[in-house]
Amino acid sequence: MRRCMSKFPATRHKSPFALKGPRCILLAVLILTFCLTGSAAEATTTTSIGANLLQDPGFETSLGSTAYWEQSSTNFGSPLCNDDSCGTAGGSAGPRTGSIWAWFGGTANTEAASLSQAVTIPAGAWTLEFYFWIGSAHEGSDNADIFTACIDNSTVFTADATQAGLYPSYTLVSVDVSAWADGASHLVAFSSITTGQVVNFNLDDVALLLPVTTTTTTPPTTTTVAPTTTTTVEPSTTTTVEMETTTTTSVKAGPCPATQVLGAGNPQLDDMRAFRDSALAQSALGRKVTSIYYRKAGSINAALEERPMLRALARRAFEIIAPE
C-alpha cells in the first residue's frame, strides 16, 4: 500500500487526497472492474449470397433425367454430357465442376438444343449467373452459330461463334433478371443453333441468386486482466522504489472516463491527474493501472454510458479518491 502512497506531494487544491491505502485499492479495483467489462458489442453488416433458386444447378443428377431440367437436341436428344457419353473433343468440351455439363453444338450437322427449368422468382434484385466456355469454333462458323439465355421469351444473353475469344475457358456470366422478380413462375432457358460446322458451346454451374444483407452482432470481448493484481501490493514495501522510465499518459483512446463522470472543468479532475502522476506513477502496479485505464477508455466510457448504476458508482469512487 505504501508503494502506492509514497511521497505523494501536495496539490493546489485544498484537500489533496488524504490518500490512504484503501483508496488506492478502490481505484485499482474500480478501473480493473471497468476493464473486465470488456468492449461494447459491435454490429457488423455483411453481404452474402442467398440460396440458389435453380434445382440441380450443376446438372449432376440430370443426365438421363428431366426431374429438374427439360432437355432437347436435334442430334443427341439432350445437350447434357459426361466424358463417357460424349468425350471431350480433344479438350474443347467438358465439365467445369463434377462430371456433367451441357454441351451445345458439337456437330457439323444442323443442331438445335435447349435446356430449361421453370422457377418462381420472388421480389428482389435477382441475378442469373452461369459459367460459359466456347471451346471450339471451326472455320466457316459465324454469328448465326449462336448460344442464347432467355427468361420466358426474352433474351437476356447471347454469344456467337465469332466471340470465342471472349470465352476461352469457363467464364462467369452475370445477368440482372430483377425485371422478372414478381413472385410468378418463369422459364429459365438456355439454347443454341449451329449449322454447317462444329462449334462447341459449354455451360455449367447455373444459378439464380439474391445478394442478402445481414447484420451480425459481435459479442463483447473480455480482457484477461487477472483481478488478483489488485491484492499483490506489499504493505511493508519502503518508499525508495526504483522508478522505471515509463510514460503513462501517452496512450489515450477517447475522452477520459473521469471527465465523463465528473464533467469537464471539475476541479477534482486536477486532483485525479495529480493522483495519477504522483501516486500511481510511483509503482509498477500504478503505472499498469494507468496504462489500462487509458487504453480501455473507450470501453469504460461505453460501459458508463450504458449503465447508470455503474456511472453512479464511479462518481462515488472518484469522490472518495479526490474529495472536493
Q: From the CB of 76, what's the least distance to Ca ion, in Å?
A: 17
Query: What's the min distance (Å) between Cβ of 99 and Ca ion?
Result: 7
How far is Cα 5 from Cα 71, in angstroms, rounded to an integer? 88
The smaller minimum CB distance to Ca ion, of residues 130 and 180, is found at: 130
Alpha carbon distance 179, 232 (integer Å): 70
At 102 the three-state DSSP class reads strand
- Contact range with Ca ion by CB under 5 A, out of 18-26, 92-100, 102-110, 180-188: 92-100
- The answer to whether 54 touches 126, Cβ cutoff 8 Å, is no
Does residue 170 belong to the site contacting Ca ion (CB under 5 A)? no
Question: Which of 51, 52, 79 is closest to 66 using CA atoms?
Answer: 79
Give the residue, chosen from 95, 106, 135, 257, that forms a contact with Ca ion under the rule CB under 5 A. Answer: 95
Asked if 58 interacts with Ca ion (CB under 5 A), we say yes
Smallest separation, CB 38 to Ca ion (Å): 48
Residue with cell 453481404: 47
Nearest residue (CB) to Ca ion, 100 versus 289: 100
- The DSSP-derived string for 36-105 is HT-PPPEEEEEEEE---SSSSTT-TT-TT--SS-EEEETTTS-SEE-HHHH--TTTTS--SSSS-EEEEE
Number of residues that bind Ca ion (CB under 5 A): 8
Query: 132: part of which helix (H) or strand (E)?
Result: strand 127-137
CB of 58 to Ca ion, least distance (A): 4
Residues 97-156 that bind Ca ion (CB under 5 A): 97-98, 100-101
Stretch that binds Ca ion, among 38-46, 91-99, 114-122, 158-166 (CB under 5 A): 91-99
Q: In whole angstroms, what is the distance from residue 198 CA to residue 56 CA?
A: 28
State how far Cα 154 lies from the chain centre: 37
94 near Ca ion (CB under 5 A): no
Nearer to Ca ion, 63 or 121 (CB): 63
Nearer to Ca ion, 100 or 159 (CB): 100
Nearest distance from C-beta of residue 211 to Ca ion, angstroms: 24
Residue 33 near residue 179, CB atoms below 8 Å: no
Find the shortest distance in angstroms from Cβ 61 to Ca ion. Answer: 10
Task: Tell the smallest beta-carbon distance from residue 100 to Ca ion (Å).
Answer: 5
Instruction: Single out the residue of 97, 54, 90 nearest to residue 203, CA to CA.
Output: 97
Residues in region 196-235 near Ca ion by CB under 5 A: 204
**Chain residues that interact with Ca ion, rule: CB under 5 A:** 58-59, 95, 97-98, 100-101, 204
